[in-house]
Amino acid sequence: MSLLAQTRLSMLDLVPVREGSGVADALAQAVRTAQHVEQLGFTRYWLAEHHNMAGIASSATAVLIGHIAGQTRSIRVGSGGVMLPNHAPLVVAEAFGTLATLYPDRIDLGLGRAPGTDPVTMRALRRNRTESADDFPQEVAELMHYLDEVQPGQKVIANPGNGTRVPVWLLGSSLFSAQLAAERGLPYAFASHFAPQMLLQAIELYRRNYRPSPRHPEPYVMIGVPVVAAPTDDEAQFLASSSYQRVLSILTGQRGLLQPPVENFLQQLGPQELNGIRQFLACSVVGSPDTVRQGFDQLLEATRANELILVSDLYDPDLRLRSLGIAAGVWQQARASAT
């Protein structure tokens, strides 16, 4: 049976703000996108926490999760992720406990340990302490404690939050969170949509060291996949130039709004810029339906991932929905062929 037929499909949305439009439009497009992928059969729609970035509108992640969940029916909505060091675990437990109470069995809590911003903004987020290697594991444990049933004598209680047991995922782009997820028996999402270098090593470590937990008796791996799909390879490469521009702006420290596509963009770059983009997007899948199928198959053959979470940076919102529809069509065809 095709590996793709056995794999779940989901979406990670950075809620891009496009050149020529604003935040309100980006938020409206997020709702539209979530409703679209729900209809396509995606398992979950996640939002990423970033701060002080003009081109990303998902900084108030928990607020936006509630907004999206309220305008969809069944798709799981969550964080990919909440950057835990930016927040007190109790506050996160209360926020996601509230969401889980409002939308039962539909909320995910993906946790990361990076700041999701620059050093100056870190200080504005009240991160003025020096972190140690023990902080993140301790804060994850504290947060999960607040989401669990109240224990006798417990003095600090998340309300809402206690007893909701919101599903917790650990996110990462290195070996640290892979090891921690394995030790805690938690599902693991690797950020291969922007940092694919350690993907195979992290997954291997996670699976090798996995300790079964009551909720997760088996390891579960999700990987981030940048996708631009179109009827032809040439059109997909043209549309992907918006993503290439975004990556170049990150690499050069000149982040901005999502830009319109540019003909032959890669051909205009020098070797260093081109190599940087290719390394950043090493797990990307760009092309026609046949090319997308081949790309998915290659990633799954290498990783045996349980789930692909797609990132799709297209300038035109309608073409973005079309891209996601093409990717879903490839997935649905694989599933139909397997029955």
Least Cα distance to 288 among 250, 323, 255 occurs for: 323
Q: Are the C-beta atoms of residues 181 and 189 closer than 8 Å to each other?
A: no
pLDDT score, position 114? 75
d(CA 66, CA 52): 21
Q: How many angstroms separate the Cα of 112 from the Cα of each of 188, 222, 303?
A: 11, 14, 21
Q: Alpha-carbon distance 200 to 223, whole Å?
A: 10
Residue 292's alpha-carbon distances to 71, 229, 296, in angstroms, are 30, 7, 6
Half-sphere exposure of 106 (CA within 13 A, CB side): 21
Structure tokens belonging to residue 142? 């504290």
From residue 217, how far is each of 17, 44, 159, 220 by CA, in Å?
40, 21, 29, 9
Q: What is the pTM of this model?
A: 0.95
Pair 221, 306: CB distance under 8 Å: yes
> What local confidence, expressed as pLDDT, does residue 128 receive?
59
Measured CA to CA, the distance from residue 106 to residue 99 in angstroms comes to 9
Q: What is the CATH number of the domain that holds 25?
A: 3.20.20.30
How does DSSP assign 135-173, residue by residue? HHHHHHHHHHHHHSPPPTT-----TTTTT----EEEEES
- Tokens 């709702």 correspond to what residue? 31
Are the CB atoms for 252 and 280 separated by under 8 Å?
no
As a whole number of angstroms, the distance between CA 194 and CA 196 comes to 6
Which helix H or strand E contains 81, and what residues bound it? Answer: strand 76-83
* Residue range 240-259, pLDDT digits in tens: 999 999 999 999 999 999 99
pLDDT attached to residue 230:
98
Query: What is the tally of structural domains in the chain?
Result: 1
Q: How many CA within 13 A on the CB side of residue 76?
A: 21
CA-based R_g, the chain, Å:
19
- Encode 183-193: b = buried (16+ Cβ within 10 Å), e = exposed: ebbbbbbbbbb
State residue 308's pLDDT score. 98
- Name the token pair of 111: 């946790």
300 vs 2, 4, 54, 283, 313, CA distance in Å?
10, 7, 34, 11, 22
Number of residues that make up the chain: 339
What domain range includes position 176?
A: 4-338
223: left (phi over 0), alpha (psi -120 to 50) or beta: beta
Residue 96 has phi, psi (to 5 degrees) of: -75, -25
What tokens appear for 76 in the block?
A: 């799981």
**Predicted local distance difference test score (pLDDT) of residue 339:** 82
Positive/negative CA dihedral, 207, 213, 218, 222: negative
Residues 177, 161: Cα–Cα separation, whole Å: 24
183 in Cβ contact with 211 (< 8 Å): yes
Mark the ranges of the chain whose per-residue pLDDT is less than 50.
Answer: none
